[in-house]
Amino acid sequence: MARTNPRKQAKNSNLETHANKGGRPKGSLNKTTVLLKEAILKAAELAGDDLTPKGRKKGGLIRYLQVQAKSNPNSFMSALLGKVLPLQITGDDENPVNITVRFEHGK
């Protein structure tokens, strides 16, 4: 006759009674992920303020992104815009979507 371990049996029944009562809600971000994203955005904002010419209003995150778009256009387009833009753009039969992309690099 097979013997069952009472400790193992108690552990399994304990799991069943406490199922889905702890942890973070499904789909919520890890605290570390949230903190890291906030830190990255704050660092970019401060860098943008430092890049703003004297006498002008602080540029923050937008100024930082402008400088990056000009100084690193390939990285900016592929890494940042590639993550932000939708993966698929569609139109209907009567109104197809026309996309024109033009990169200009001024001196």
Strands (E), the chain: none
Mean pLDDT of 49-54: 89
Q: Give the whole-angstrom CA distance, residue 59 versus residue 50.
A: 8
Q: Give the whole-angstrom CA distance, residue 78 versus residue 68.
A: 12
Predicted pLDDT of residue 50: 92
Q: pLDDT per residue over 57-105, tens digit each?
A: 889 989 988 888 889 888 887 877 777 776 666 778 788 887 777 777 7
Q: Give the whole-angstrom CA distance, residue 61 versus residue 44.
A: 5
pLDDT above 70 (res 13): no
Q: pLDDT per residue over 18-32, tens digit each?
A: 555 677 788 777 888
pTM for the model stands at 0.50
Q: What angle do CA 25, 28, 32 make, to 5 degrees?
A: 120
Q: Give the whole-angstrom CA distance, residue 71 versus residue 94.
A: 40
Domains of the chain by residue range: 27-84
Mean pLDDT of 47-56: 89
Q: pLDDT: is 11 or 33 the higher one?
A: 33
Predicted pLDDT of residue 85: 72
